[in-house]
Amino acid sequence: MKYKTLTHYLVEQQREHQSIDPELRLLLEIVARACKSIGHAVGKGALGGVLGSLGSENVQGEIQKKLDVLSNDILLEANEWGGHLAGMASEEMTTIHRIPNRYPKGEYLLLFDPLDGSSNIDVNVSIGTIFSVLKAPAGAEGRDIEEADFLQPGSRQVAAGYAIYGPQTMLVLTTGNGVASFTLDREMGAWCLTGENIRIPEDTKEFAINMSNMRHWAPEMRRYIEDCLAGQDGPLGKNYNMRWIASMVSDVHRIMNRGGVFMYPWDAREPEKAGKLRLMYEANPMSMLIEQAGGASIDGTQRILDIQPEALHQRVSVMLGSKNEIARIAEYHQQ
C-alpha cells in the first residue's frame, strides 16, 4: 500500500485548502526532520550514551537529562538557518533564541518542549516532542525579536504538533484544518500519512491523572475524581478506568486514538502557581490539536486557547480530551 508522505500532505494543505503558505510548509518539514533525528537518538538509548542526567537544572528548576539538552540542540540547529523564523523559545532555555545575524529571518516563531516525559527516558517508556508555531506580530520586521512577541494566546497558533517516540515513531500535526498523523517508515526515512481527520469520541469512561497527588488538589477536583471512583452506583452512573503514563505526549496520543480526559490540576504544594504544565510549550499546542480533533481543553473554567500569556514560562492547570466529559469537569469547577 502506498502512503502519502508528509511533504505530499503539506503541499495539498497549501494548494487545496490554503491553510498554510510555502514558508510554513518548509518550516514544518524542518521540524519533522529534527524530530526524526531526536527519534534516532532516543532509539539508541544506552548504545548512544544518551541516558542519565547532566546534573544541571533548566529554567524550571528541573534536573536536565542528557536527551533533554541533545533534543533542544537538535531543534535549534535544524531551524535557525532556514530563513523561516524570527525566533525560537524552548522549555529548556531561560529566554528566547534569536536567529543569528548570519542567517536570513522569516515571519514565524517556533516554541517547543524538546523532550516531554523526561522521567520516562531511562525506563524505556514512550516520550515525545511538542511544538507550536506563531506568526511574529506586525511591526516585528526589521528589529530584534523580543519575549513579548511570543506572548500570544493559543488561538493565534498557525500550526501545532507532537512527535511520539514509542513502538512506532509518529508525528501528529494540525495546521488549522483538522488533525493528521504520520508514521515514520524507518527503512525509507519518510513520514507516511496513516491517519487523517482524527476525531476524539465525545464521551468517555477513562481518565488520566496522577492520583498520588489527590490530597493536594482543590476540592472541586477531588470531588470529581471521587465521583468517578464511585462507579456505576455513583452520581456519574458509569465505571471509569484510570490511565497515567507521566508523559503528556503519550497520554494525549491515547486520547487522540480512543478518547478520554487528561488532567494536571492546581496543586496546594505550590499554591502561587496556577498549575504544573507550561502554557506556551505544552498546554497551547496540545489544546489546538485536541480542539481540531473535536475535543475540548480548559484550565478548569476557561478555554486554554483564550488565555493571554503573561510570561514565557507561565504555568497553567490543564484538563483536556473528550468534549462532553470536559464540559462535566467545568461544571464541577463552576459549582
Alpha helices (H) along 151-283: 219-229, 248-258
Q: How far is CA 216 from the centre of its chain?
A: 25
8 A C-beta contact, residue 77 and residue 37:
no
Gap between the Cα atoms of 299 and 279, Å rounded: 10
Query: CB neighbours of 85 closer than 8 A, spacing ≥ 6?
Result: 27, 79, 99, 105, 106, 108, 109, 110
Q: Phi and psi of 205, rounded to 5°?
A: -125, 30
31-315-326 Cα angle (round to 5): 90
Is the Cα torsion angle 326, 329, 333, 335 positive or negative in sign? positive
* 91 marked as part of a ligand binding site: yes
* 282 marked as part of a ligand binding site: yes
Is the Cα torsion angle 135, 10, 128, 99 positive or negative in sign? negative
* 119 marked as part of a ligand binding site: yes
Neighbours of 82 (CB within 10 A): 18
Q: Which residue has the cell 527519534?
A: 39
Query: CB neighbours of 65 closer than 8 A, spacing ≥ 6?
Result: 51, 52, 53, 54, 115, 118, 121, 122
* 116 marked as part of a ligand binding site: yes
* 220 marked as part of a ligand binding site: no
Enter the C-alpha cell of residue 87. 525566533
Gap between the Cα atoms of 100 and 236, Å rounded: 55
* 196 marked as part of a ligand binding site: no
Which residues sit in the known binding site for Mg(2+)? 91, 113, 115-116, 282
Which residues sit in the known binding site for substrate? 116-119, 210, 276
Which residues sit in the known binding site? 91, 113, 115-119, 210, 276, 282
